[in-house]
Structure 1
């Protein structure tokens, strides 16, 4: 089983794995919520890198504890690993809204010119809006030191069910964002993180890594077919999205950013650097 989706650390496993894996205990797990701008998902508690990231408001199902980290899985896409304990708090309410712009911020007061605590919030961050007044959305802010409120510009939010209809347009919102391996935020993002953000904003389930995306997304397009907006191109270890018949957008280490690139040039460049040809051209179902 793929360890990225295997809800077991060898000692504790999710109850869905009874009879499938060996473990000392099987548990339902307990839901916690990310209360920091981002939180990493790590392969081990002492990992110095990251597999993926979660965003403010994402729910993480905790199965086991390990010192200052906890083991579990992201409810958003099922990705399994460890995350810092201090990035989590118990949710007190249901999510109602999502950040729809590339970046926003939360303040501890609803006052534009008042200098106070500010939290950077990324596209896709999820919040519970309690009320909107004078252009500010008052949102729950569960933290270990107690409940509080976070105030955001209401214009930066959309209701959780108000889905977008053009994944490529969402991806274009990230143009110029830094390339960051394992990143999922508007500050730093990688190729599969960009595709996941674009699709999930449109209500399309999407795994976290490019190899899983290749298996799960869309249907193959016959070789030589014209490229259409929203098509997804895969290489070994890389993924990009088509924006028009001649251009793609991708987060990549060549530009060290999210960038447009002519499709023909990208294909030639990636092959020349030794990473092979396109392995799949996939098309999503039209909605």
Structure 2
């Protein structure tokens, strides 16, 4: 088991890096099964997703996380009080996405927490392996309550095929990051999500759809946000965006995406 020590790293489909299938965030675990040519083959611990990952993006050991980033985007710095440390004041060394997992190793001050980087940083001194994250941007590894509220944190995030972070995300990535934050096991791709998540709503009245239900098309998925809107990462807006539900159904069908294939509810009642 290894731990991701890059802000985000790609799970490639093959050694030629012909396609980005999914991504891993800082602090997530990856089970290595083999290595060659600077890449390692293995599976994401969160869902078993297979593929190739750059070896330099992984630590040489497993690092047990204690907390996670709970805002859309954060950062780690070399100094816990950058305004008081001219040497490190301009060093924003590590961007962090919502869902990134960190191991806290100390409280640097009331505002900053010290974390384990997993490897020495080139800008550090004497091989230091730590950095500092704003305390207010972190939270405990406990399930959040509302997956749609999690997805709403990523409004405006650029659409990126295979993306799983607040720096770029796709439709199934938005569903997965929200489900995992709420303690709901979730596969990585939309067709897997359609097959495995929740209970099928057979011939539902559109007025009966609830916040947190999922709408599926062939190759696409969206959250039901409220009585009239969906929330999804999509190539029409090229971002995570709200969209009128009826208008989205008509638009997707008109663009050749076909009809809605399933409506699912994550939990009864």
Q: TM-score, normalised by structure 2?
A: 0.92
Which residue is 1:155 aligned to? 136
Query: Which of 225, 231, 234 in structure 2 is aligned with 1:252?
Result: 234
1:221 aligns with 2:201: yes
Instruction: List, as ranges, runs of 4+ consecutive aligned residues in structure 1 with deviation greater than 4 Å.
Output: 144-147
Deviation of 1:224 after TM superposition, in Å, equals: 3.1
Distance in 2 (CA, whole Å) between partners of 1:163 and 1:224 is 29
Which residue is 2:118 aligned to? 142
Which residue is 1:127 aligned to? 102
Distance in 1 (CA, whole Å) between partners of 2:162 and 2:44 is 15
Deviation of 1:94 after TM superposition, in Å, equals: 1.6
Which residue is 1:82 aligned to? 52
Query: Is the 1:195–1:241 contact (alpha carbons within 8 Å) kept by the matching residues of 2?
Result: yes
Query: In 2 relative to 1, CA 100–286 (structure 1 residues): closer, same or farther, beyond 3 Å?
Result: farther
RCO comparison, higher one (Cα < 8 Å, 6+): 2
Which residue is 2:66 aligned to? 96
Which residue is 1:49 aligned to? 19
Distance in 1 (CA, whole Å) between partners of 2:2 and 2:62 is 10
1:285 aligns with 2:267: yes
Query: Is the 1:199–1:206 contact (alpha carbons within 8 Å) kept by the matching residues of 2?
Result: yes
Deviation of 1:150 after TM superposition, in Å, equals: 1.5
Query: Is the 2:59–2:118 contact (alpha carbons within 8 Å) kept by the matching residues of 1?
Result: yes
Residue aligned with 1:89, SS: coil
Which residue is 2:124 aligned to? none
**Any unmatched runs of 5+ in structure 1?**
1-30
Spell out the pairing of 1:1-287 with structure 2 (5 A cutoff).
Answer: 31-91=1-61, 93-113=63-83, 114-132=89-107, 133-143=109-119, 148-160=129-141, 162-225=142-205, 226-285=208-267
Deviation of 1:85 after TM superposition, in Å, equals: 0.6
Deviation of 1:144 after TM superposition, in Å, equals: 6.4
Q: TM-score, normalised by structure 1?
A: 0.86
Q: Deviations over 1:43-71 (max 9, x none)?
A: 11212430000000011111101111000
Distance in 2 (CA, whole Å) between partners of 1:74 and 1:80 is 7
Residue aligned with 1:51, SS: strand
Deviation of 1:149 after TM superposition, in Å, equals: 0.5
Deviation of 1:274 after TM superposition, in Å, equals: 0.9
Q: CA RMSD, aligned part only? A: 1.4
Query: In 2 relative to 1, CA 59–272 (structure 1 residues): closer, same or farther, beyond 3 Å?
Result: same
Query: In 2 relative to 1, CA 252–124 (structure 1 residues): closer, same or farther, beyond 3 Å?
Result: same
Deviation of 1:110 after TM superposition, in Å, equals: 0.6
Query: Is the 1:45–1:83 contact (alpha carbons within 8 Å) kept by the matching residues of 2?
Result: no
